Amino acid sequence: MREHTELFEPTKKSINIVIVALTVIAFFVMQFWEKNSTDGVFYGHTTQFLLEHGALYAPGVRNGEWYRLVTHLFLHGDIMHLGNNMLILFCLGNALEHYLGKFSYAGIYFFSGILAGLGSVVYNTDNTVSVGASGAVFGVVGAMAWLVVRNKGRLPGFTGPRMLIFVLMSVYAGFADRGVDNAAHIAGLIAGFLLAILIYRKPEAETEVVP
SS3 19: helix
Q: Would residue 134 show up in a list of annotated catalytic residues for this protein?
A: yes
Q: How does 155-185 read in b/e, with b if 16+ C-beta sit within 10 Å?
A: bbbbeeeebeebbeebbeebeeeeebbbbbb
Q: How far apart are CA 107 and CA 146, in angstroms?
A: 16
Residue from 45, 76, 81, 185 carrying the catalytic annotation: 185
- DSSP for residue 4: G
Which of 141, 142, 163 lies closest to 152 in space, CA to CA?
A: 163
Triad 142, 138, 173: Cα angle to 5° = 115
Q: Would residue 185 show up in a list of annotated catalytic residues for this protein?
A: yes
Q: How does 29-49 read in b/e, with b if 16+ C-beta sit within 10 Å?
A: ebbeebeebeeeeeebbeeeb
Residue length, the chain?
A: 211
Query: What is the residue type of 13?
Result: K
Residue from 112, 120, 130, 134 carrying the catalytic annotation: 134
Triad 22, 195, 123: Cα angle to 5° = 80
Q: Known catalytic residues?
A: 134, 185
